[in-house]
Amino acid sequence: MSETPPAHPSTGSAPSPGGPPLPLEAQGIRRSFILGDGSELEVLQGVDLAVGTGEAVSIVGASGTGKSTLLHLLGALDRPTSGELILGGRTVTGRSGRELARLRNQFVGFVFQFHHLLREFTALENVMMPALIGGAPRAKAEADARELLEAVGLSPRLGHKPWQLSGGEQQRVAVARALANEPVVLLADEPSGNLDARTSEALHDLLFRIREERELSLVLVTHNRELAARADRTLLLAEGVLEPAQISREEPWSAKTADPQTP
């Protein structure tokens, strides 16, 4: 794994002057929604986050605090009400829908709780899809997809359709698909939320093995404490902002208090 850049005073990592751009930076991200009665609900109130190359960050918090909303914003699937998102050194704010799609396809891979595989296509075809959308020749897209499915242990399942695969196999196909365009950051939203304990552990091992092999930055939204603890940093989303977090198996997620300074 690459050396982690110097820590930001709060929840980010800042690149050294003149160094390579970070895979992912969010600056003052706010997101609000207008409710049916015309009132405004502010879900995110100024999120700052910077993720270093090869770094794994887990984001935890109570249900309904906006974790999935934040992940969608970090992946440019949604637009913030205000604030800046930077992917691979490229500012996302103000770009057209077509430009956003191109940046997502180039820099970001997604793994969701529900795998969202295309039911009518085989595992191989599902993994080929992002490369084909990005304009890759079919022969190259197929060769790369075969290699990715082999990397996640699914060579015998290339021709199987999603409904012919187990839940764990479907999620491994989703991981392979997320890697199809060699993204710099992988965003995972409750990736093992629908899997049993044994299959979840295998998926977690796979995600962190791929992170290490590819120097891939990883941002995880999860309620799974074991998964959250495997990350280099854990952040708590509460009241619309991110704070460093401490993990306990029994207690609710809580912010980490600063160590007392010695005189």
- 242 within 8 A of 235, measured Cβ to Cβ: yes
- 80 within 8 A of 29, measured Cβ to Cβ: yes
Alpha-carbon distances, residue 133 vs 7, 64, 81, 186 (angstroms): 37, 33, 28, 18
Q: What is the dihedral of CA 133, 139, 143, 149, to 10 degrees?
A: 40
**What are the structural domains, with CATH classification, of the chain?**
24-245 (3.40.50.300)
Per mean pLDDT, which range of 67-71, 105-109, 246-250 is the poorest? 246-250
Averaged pLDDT score across all residues of the chain:
82
Distance CA 9, CA 6 (A): 9
Q: What is the largest CA-CA distance in the chain?
A: 66
List CB contacts of 76: < 8 A, sequence separation 6 or more.
85, 87, 92, 100, 103, 104, 108
- Model confidence at 10, pLDDT cuts 50, 70, 90, reads very low
For residue 109, give the amino acid letter.
Answer: G
Buried residues in 65-79 as b, exposed as e (16+ CB within 10 A): bbbbbbbbbbbbeeb
pTM exceeds 0.75: yes
Q: Does the pLDDT at position 8 exceed 60? A: no
Distance CA 44, CA 66 (A): 7
DSSP 59-115: EE--TTSSHHHHHHHHTTSS--SEEEEEETTEE-TT--HHHHHHHHHHHEEEE-SS-
Q: Give the side-chain half-sphere CA count within 13 A for 89.
A: 6
Per mean pLDDT, which range of 32-36, 127-131, 185-189 is the poorest? 32-36
- 245 within 8 A of 59, measured Cβ to Cβ: no
Residues 161-187: tens digit of each pLDDT: 988 998 888 888 988 888 888 888 999
Residues 62-71: tens digit of each pLDDT: 888 888 899 9
